[in-house]
Amino acid sequence: MYIYPDNLKSKAVMWLWELRDIGIIAIGAIVSIVALTQVGIYVLLLITAVYAFLAIRLDDTSILKFLKNSYSFFIGKMQVYEWRLTEE
């Protein structure tokens, strides 16, 4: 089920994810299933499931986007303002 975007500038969405996220989830699922069957590692499957949950989009926003913006605002790119009195 392909949902055409209402706004032509918005990204294409399929079900609850963007198409880029579906590709990442599919590749992650394939790699994690191979790792699970061959080596018995569950961690990759868990990481893929967490990414799939965080990348769910509703109304053009997702938890992953919120976490990225929060990180950049509070930790990554903090803005520093210096106030000085100027003599005129």
Band of the pLDDT at 88, cuts 50, 70, 90?
low
The predicted structure's pLDDT at residue 77: 77
Average pLDDT across the chain, whole number: 85
Band of the pLDDT at 50, cuts 50, 70, 90?
very high
Is the residue at 16 inside a domain? yes
Band of the pLDDT at 75, cuts 50, 70, 90?
confident
Q: What residue numbers bound the domain in which 36 lies?
A: 11-76
Q: Using CB atoms within 10 A of its CB, is residue 81 exposed (0-12), middle (13-18) or buried (19+)?
A: exposed
Is the residue at 56 inside a domain? yes
Is the residue at 15 inside a domain? yes
Q: What is the rounded CA–CA span in Å between residue 29 and residue 35?
A: 10
The predicted structure's pLDDT at residue 30: 97
The predicted model scores a pTM of: 0.71
